[in-house]
Amino acid sequence: MKHLISLHDITNEEFNKILTLAGKLKAETKAGITHHLLKGKTLAMIFTKSSTRTRISFETGMYQLGGYPMFLSANDMQLGRGESIYDTANVMSRFVDGIMIRTYAHSDVEDLAKYGTVPVINGLTDLLHPCQALADFLTIYEHKGKLEGLKFAYVGDGNNVAHSLLYAAAKAGMDITVATPKGYECNEEIVANAKDDAKSTGSTIVTTYDPLEAVKDADILCTDTWVSMGQEAEKAERVKIFSPYQLNAELAKHAKDDYIFLHCLPAYRGYEVTEDIIDGEHSVIFDEAENRLHAQKAVMAMLMGD
């Protein structure tokens, strides 16, 4: 595994290894055990898209691994003034041991990996969010004791989060149904890739317009904001279109009695999810948020460690 750009690019074994190492590092951290696996290493963190959880979890994780996290905003980079990705990747590769980027265009991440010589981690693009999916599946394993054979239900926008969940489910052997409104479906190529990945694990990949079909007998319920960063002008229209896809008590009653609820946050209570669900007994959103730290530490250790 040279980079983490898409979960589709890694093997099933690498996917499982990340989760196993994440669990180990989490247990060691809780026990007060130091694991300076990246002592003397530097991670450059490029943010052209702002963040709370991504910055804090990567900075803290790199510190706990004994390395140095270097925050770089768009204003700190010559990229914002027109320098090419080719030049940036080559120069940064001479200075640092790894690059994490959170940006809009997925091609930026791919080009950094193509032209640079150090590992590149996708902290989020408009197409994919692999680190979030890893945290989600670590959380599921902690609460369910397994991944294979469960049913994951995602209801809402067919966005970057949904795309990476499709890939993660396929790698884990978990069935997944994604319900979106018409016009907001998941990327067709990603759905096809996920179905291809699922052939080796036996998981079922389903896309539908019916939220009830998605949540029926589901072990995991998940949603995301209806209005992602950069879509603020579409808010009124999106709220109207997505209202039938709200995760509420009426919809959740069709899931299994012991379902868990996931949301990558930030959440907008009363929109994509009601307060009784996100703040209720089935919600594990703060375990999920914490697991961004541990999953990303595993990724950094595997990519940047000796």
Give pLDDT tens digits for 84-117. 889 999 999 999 999 999 999 999 999 999 999 9
Judge whether 251 lies within some domain.
yes
In this predicted structure, what is the pLDDT of residue 227? 83
Judge whether 195 lies within some domain.
yes
In this predicted structure, what is the pLDDT of residue 267? 95
Residue 187: pLDDT band with limits 50, 70, 90: very high
Same domain, 193 and 101: no
Same domain, 31 and 106: yes
In this predicted structure, what is the pLDDT of residue 110? 97
Same domain, 208 and 117: no
What are the pLDDT digits (tens) for 190-204? Answer: 999 999 999 999 999
Same domain, 296 and 195: no
In this predicted structure, what is the pLDDT of residue 104? 93
144-166 per-residue burial string, b: 16 or more CB within 10 A, e: under 16: beebeebbbbbbbbbbbbbbbbb
Judge whether 242 lies within some domain.
yes
As a whole number, the mean pLDDT across the chain is 95
Same domain, 262 and 176: yes
pLDDT tops 90 at residue 177: yes
pLDDT tops 90 at residue 12: yes
The pTM of the full predicted model, rounded to 2 decimals, is 0.96
Q: What range defines the domain where residue 59 resides?
A: 7-129+291-304
Same domain, 296 and 181: no
pLDDT tops 90 at residue 273: yes
What are the pLDDT digits (tens) for 128-173? Answer: 999 999 999 999 999 999 999 999 999 999 999 999 999 999 999 9
Which residues have a catalytic role annotated?
Answer: 102, 129, 132, 224, 264, 292
Same domain, 76 and 12: yes
Cα dihedral value 66, 67, 73, 79, nearest 10: -160
**Tally of CB atoms within 10 A around 117:** 10
Residue 35: pLDDT band with limits 50, 70, 90: very high
Q: For residues 262 and 223, what is the distance between their CA atoms, to the nearest angstrom? A: 7
Judge whether 2 lies within some domain.
no
230-256 per-residue burial string, b: 16 or more CB within 10 A, e: under 16: eeeeeeeebeebbeebbbeeebbebbb
Give me the phi and psi of 180, to 5 degrees please: -135, 160
CATH code, domain with 191: 3.40.50.1370
Same domain, 176 and 163: yes
Mean pLDDT of 74-86: 76
220-223 and 260-263 strand pairing = parallel
Same domain, 94 and 141: no
Residue 81: pLDDT band with limits 50, 70, 90: low
Peptide bond into 130 cis (omega under 30): no
Q: For residues 226 and 122, what is the distance between their CA atoms, to the nearest angstrom? A: 22
In this predicted structure, what is the pLDDT of residue 233? 80
Over pLDDT 70: what percentage of the chain?
98
Q: For residues 218 and 174, what is the distance between their CA atoms, to the nearest angstrom? A: 11
Same domain, 142 and 278: yes
Count of domains for the chain: 2
Residue 229: pLDDT band with limits 50, 70, 90: low
Same domain, 95 and 159: no
**Gyration radius from the chain CA atoms:** 19
pLDDT tops 60 at residue 80: no
Q: For residues 68 and 65, what is the distance between their CA atoms, to the nearest angstrom? A: 9
Mean pLDDT of 65-90: 86
Tell me, what amino acid is at 294? H
Judge whether 214 lies within some domain.
yes
Same domain, 104 and 245: no
Judge whether 1 lies within some domain.
no
